[in-house]
Homo-oligomer: A and B are copies of this chain.
Amino acid sequence: MAEKQFVKEIADINENFTQWYTDVVLKTQLVDYGPVKGTMVIRPYGYAIWENIQKDMDRRFKENGSKNAYFPLLIPMSFFTKEAEHVEGFAPEVAVVTHAGGAKLEEPLAIRPTSETVIGTMYAKWIQSYRDLPVIMNQWCNVMRWEKTTRPFLRTSEFLWQEGHTVHATEEEAMEETIKMLNVYREFMEETLALPVICGRKTEKEKFAGAVATFGLEAMMLDGKSLQSGTSHYLGQNFSKAFDIKFLDKDSTQKYGYTTSWGTSTRMIGAVIMAHGDQRGLVLPPKIAPIQVIIVPVAAHKGGVIEKAKEIESMLVKAGIRAETDTRDMSPGWKFNEWEMKGVPLRIEIGPRDIENNQAVLVRRDKNEKQFESIDALETLIPELLDIIQKEMLVKSRANRDARIIETDTLDGIINGVDGKFVKAGWCGCRECEDKVKELASATARVMVDEEGIPEKCAICGKPAKHKVIFARAY
């Protein structure tokens, strides 16, 4: 009864995926709408996921030579105009501070939509010699992009992210860094988010405003649409020339540096929800789950049940597992549903009869099958099981995705294919063909995957193909 009631609160995942998403993020208390249109409040359960993401990524960044810093929120509007493409891309989206301290400002200030301009300005001041290079910094911060249609985590006017900004002496080093960080992201997404991603270069139309080349990581959601989960940009000398980032090289000549930037955001939480969820709600990968194991006492009023549950909890906590016992005055069935909806990877049920038999019931969120295990075995079994869940979620997610990738050599093939699938096709490289796909198939070129081999013909115009592209609808 309770179960059905609970599930009914969430829209049907197959019939209305959009509503399912909204229901899930609100009802699991990951997030709420902020008072200002288009903003979100990240509630403790959602923020704990972000903290786990941050901790894991931050370690990877530092292992790759990056140091964290913090640059100002407010950027003079004039900074944006220094890089022509950049201002065109971002000016329409910025929020502008015109008054402060009770007076009108001499120059309006933008709330950062991204920080290339202000960080570039500081780098120009700090970098003098080749000895100062490479510079590799990252910041964790909030950014603001005024969007018309917004959805929690996926697209909000303010969001949290990290942005790495690097300067190198040569083109080769900068490109190497761009690709290295793309791979750091890919490994993180696969290992920690259990999210298989396709990496590739973006088309001119889809690249970052001001970049020479943008590389993206595309993940497939359960509805077959793509979600760009991170980007790594090779900026060439565009920003170093605009912001005068110069260094005295070994040969005693002044040279402009080569810069990169790379970013990921709270959007990744949206990707996790839409790649792993099911009708019951969230399914969280153990590595980022705020609670990895929930212990639910059954017939909790009977002597010794709560005590045994707590004993298991503290044993698991000592083993480094995020375990909690739900001692609230609710029925076990109600609790099962709630924790399933909240996506806790593993549930332990323990009642008087289980204690008699020195056993506990384990239920995996990703499989929803019961297994009986000896209480003594839990200490070693649970960490192993969490590892297995983590790995199997990636395998399952990858299989789901691969079954929805098709290839075509016709425009019709793209038009018919993109409804729920990624479509690979040859492309001549011209903007007209790209726009035609957008117009007729409501799909965009996600990334180029030329390394798979370039088809002979452009699927759209029939001319010789220059690239192999993944076309898909995207969030």
A97 x B111 contact (CB < 8 A)? yes
* A74-B36, A76-B36, A121-B35 given; A69·B97 CB < 8 A: no
B94 x A68 contact (CB < 8 A)? no
Q: Beta-carbon contacts of A120-159 to B below 8 Å, as 1s and 0s? A: 0110011000000000010001101011100000000110
Chain B residues closer than 8 Å to A50, beta-carbon distance: 70
Contact of A42 among B47, B70, B92, B108 (CB under 8 A): B70
Bound-complex Cα distance A50 to B160 (A) = 18
Chain B residues closer than 8 Å to A157, beta-carbon distance: 74, 100
Dominant secondary structure at the A interface: mixed
Chain A stretch 176-196: residues in CB contact (< 8 A) with chain B:
none
Bound-complex Cα distance A158 to B35 (A) = 22
Chain B residues closer than 8 Å to A95, beta-carbon distance: 74, 97, 99-101, 109
Chain A stretch 89-113: residues in CB contact (< 8 A) with chain B:
91-102, 108-109, 111
A320 CB–B CB distance under 8 Å = no
Copies of this protein chain in the complex: 2
Chain B residues closer than 8 Å to A378, beta-carbon distance: none
A39 CB–B CB distance under 8 Å = yes
A73 CB–B CB distance under 8 Å = yes
Bound-complex Cα distance A395 to B454 (A) = 71
Contact of A69 among B41, B100, B126, B137 (CB under 8 A): B41
Of all chain B residues, which has the CB nearest A79?
B35
A72 CB–B CB distance under 8 Å = yes
A293 CB–B CB distance under 8 Å = no
Bound-complex Cα distance A263 to B261 (A) = 33
A41 x B122 contact (CB < 8 A)? yes
B47 x A68 contact (CB < 8 A)? yes
A96 x B100 contact (CB < 8 A)? yes
A43 x B69 contact (CB < 8 A)? yes
Chain B residues closer than 8 Å to A48, beta-carbon distance: 67-68
Bound-complex Cα distance A72 to B142 (A) = 9
Q: How far is the CB of A107 from chain B (nearest CB, A)?
A: 9
A405 CB–B CB distance under 8 Å = no
Q: How far is the CB of A416 from chain B (nearest CB, A)?
A: 36
A75 CB–B CB distance under 8 Å = yes
A101 x B146 contact (CB < 8 A)? yes
A101 x B97 contact (CB < 8 A)? no
A334 CB–B CB distance under 8 Å = no
Chain A stretch 423-469: residues in CB contact (< 8 A) with chain B:
none
A44 CB–B CB distance under 8 Å = yes
Bound-complex Cα distance A70 to B159 (A) = 10
Bound-complex Cα distance A3 to B160 (A) = 44
Q: How far is the CB of A150 from chain B (nearest CB, A)?
A: 11
Chain A stretch 37-75: residues in CB contact (< 8 A) with chain B:
39-44, 47-48, 50-51, 67-75
* A72-B35, A72-B39, A79-B35 given; A98·B101 CB < 8 A: no
Bound-complex Cα distance A148 to B100 (A) = 11
Of all chain B residues, which has the CB nearest A58?
B51
Chain B residues closer than 8 Å to A419, beta-carbon distance: none
Contact of A101 among B43, B79, B141, B148 (CB under 8 A): B148
Provide a sorted-by-A list of 7 A–B residue pairs whose CB atoms are within 8 angstroms.
Answer: A32-B126, A39-B72, A43-B69, A47-B70, A70-B160, A95-B101, A97-B97
The 8 closest A-B pairs by CB, nearest first: A101-B146, A44-B67, A95-B100, A34-B72, A42-B70, A39-B72, A96-B99, A100-B146
